[in-house]
Amino acid sequence: MNFLWPQNLWLLVALPLLVLLYLWLMKRKRKTALRYASLSIVKEAMGASQSFKRHIPPLLFLLAIAAMLLAAARPVAVVTLPSNQQTIILAMDVSGSMRATDVQPNRLVAAQNAAKAFIAELPRHVKVGIVAFAGSAQVAQLPTVNREDLVTAIDRFQLQRATATGNAIVISLATLFPDAGIDLQSMQGGRDRQRGFSLDAEKKEKKEFTPVAPGSYTSAAIIMLTDGQRTTGVDPLEAAKIAAERGVRVYTVGIGTVDGETIGFEGWSMRVRLDEETLKAIAQKTSAEYYYAGTAGDLKKVYETLSSRLTVEKKETEVSALLAMAAAVLALLSAGLSLLWFNRIL
């Protein structure tokens, strides 16, 4: 625990002084009581329990003062709080290899089921958008809190050829920042436009846009699931750079074959390999994490982990209010017990 105003901690020296004052008052009270011959009779009547009880309210009041003095120093601690994440984009691979059955019942169905379970676990206020990608990327569902629309969009996936992981990131960013001028066509058009902006938008960005720290944008995140390596479209690391400059985390999930296999179905075959190196680099560049899911069960656990990661987070937060509340409770308890036992406050 740290303190924003540590100079106020010197006030805690009042605690031992208050203890000494209490002991002095108790000693003085005993001396005064010795003047009465009936003291021994009263003491015996009180008993040991009553003698112990009289110290409890002052002790609770002392703890209340200690909590108030600590609150005055403005303590800061790392606590788990609800996340500020308001929008999550699910970018899901719908390339032909997702029909493979190494993940039961097949990769696509497993991914759809896991995504729907993930959406069901999110708080209702969190918006979710769906981006489907294969040889190109398109928005299957704009960010919404309507869970039924999201499920319908996921169930409508149509398999296509090729894999454009970079396009998926760019389209996801364009969905999150519709007025930022993020342009997939210009990014694919030449090296002088690699940053993903149209000419007019690029000039505007130079004047107004300032890159932020990777992972610092807490209002949105992207989760990208894929089972293959990029075969077309934008360089995914260039797309990740744009996400990093805007502070957006891109969590990557790999599903399927890591070493590379030839998968055959419906009379044709294709060579597929999961490019873990690139997926890890995307996550690292954007201050996110990479997850591998080799089975349907693994994929479900990945989404459960992401759900808990995106809905709560550990933050360094000032906890003065908690200490002040604890002080109030202790003070009220002290006064209440004193009234109950001795018909007086302390």
Q: Kindly list the domain boundaries of the chain, sorted by start residue.
A: 2-78+317-342, 84-294
Q: Give me the residues paired with residue 132 across strands.
A: 92, 138
Instruction: With beta carbons less than 8 A apart as the criterion, state whether 307 and 90 touch.
Output: no
pLDDT number for residue 191: 44
User: Angle of helix 165-176 relative to helix 236-245, nearest 10 degrees?
Assistant: 20
Question: How many whole angstroms separate alpha carbon 87 and alpha carbon 129?
Answer: 8
> What are the structure tokens assigned to 188, written together?
């694919």
Question: How many whole angstroms separate alpha carbon 261 and alpha carbon 274?
Answer: 10
pLDDT number for residue 273: 73
pLDDT number for residue 50: 60
Q: Which residues does the chain have with pLDDT short of 70?
A: 31-51, 80-85, 186-208, 259-271, 311-315, 346
Q: Which amino acid is at 155?
A: D
pLDDT number for residue 190: 47
pLDDT number for residue 278: 94
Question: How many whole angstroms separate alpha carbon 327 and alpha carbon 285?
Answer: 45
pLDDT number for residue 134: 94
pLDDT number for residue 264: 62
Rg (C-alpha) for the chain, rounded Å, is: 32
DSSP 182: B
pLDDT number for residue 193: 44
pLDDT number for residue 199: 42
Instruction: With beta carbons less than 8 A apart as the criterion, state whether 64 and 18 touch.
Output: no
pLDDT number for residue 311: 66
Residues 6+ apart with CB under 8 A from 30: none
> CA nearest 168: which of 226, 81, 127?
226
Pick the CATH number of 84-294 from 3.30.230.70, 3.40.190.10, 3.40.720.10, 3.40.50.410: 3.40.50.410
pLDDT number for residue 346: 66
